[in-house]
Structure 1
Amino acid sequence: MNSLSHGREEVRGNLERVFSLLYDRDSVRTTVHHQISQGPIGAVRWSMTGSFATGGTFANEYSLWVEVQDGLVVRVWEYTDVAHSTGQMRAAQC
């Protein structure tokens, strides 16, 4: 899936918009379980818990990989259990 965002401010703005619509920001907690890097590639596996903006709770694990060139992120791969997330969203009527 391709979704392009250019520049830090555009990425930050997109993330803030999505998070504020979906989650109760004050309830969100993250725990980093692993972080690794090798050359231009880095990865992190973390879990996130909290409440949806509409009520109801969520918990899921995520994996994020990035490729860096000349100090800039040029590629991102994100993985999560979408079926698990969808079930929680439906239960919370998101």
Structure 2
Amino acid sequence: MLLKERDTPEGTLVSVCDPDCLGETYENGAVTLEVTEEFYGGENAEPADEDVVVESLLAATTANLVGEECVSVAVEAGIIDEERVLDVGGTVHAQLLWLR
């Protein structure tokens, strides 16, 4: 999984994607999801295992996840509700917003 963290005025934004999703575009009706190098990859993105992804998501203010592996990790950790995961043209996508 590729993990990228960045500080914003609103808090920490985390993006996680499965490596095979990077650079892909997924569509489902009116919904288009572009997994761009700029948002999910680049030199600030790091390969991450399950523990690192869970730790980062728990510390995040907001997060975006794309791909079966990373979304499954978040669901299994109880961070993302499986019923809220979106199927977007051959992959899955989840968003997270902690209200603290």
Instruction: Give me the TM-score of the superposition, normalised by structure 2.
Output: 0.27
Q: Which structure is larger by alpha-carbon Rg, 1 or 2? A: 1
Instruction: Give me the TM-score of the superposition, normalised by structure 1.
Output: 0.28
Relative contact order, CA 8 A, sep 6+: which one is greater?
Answer: 2
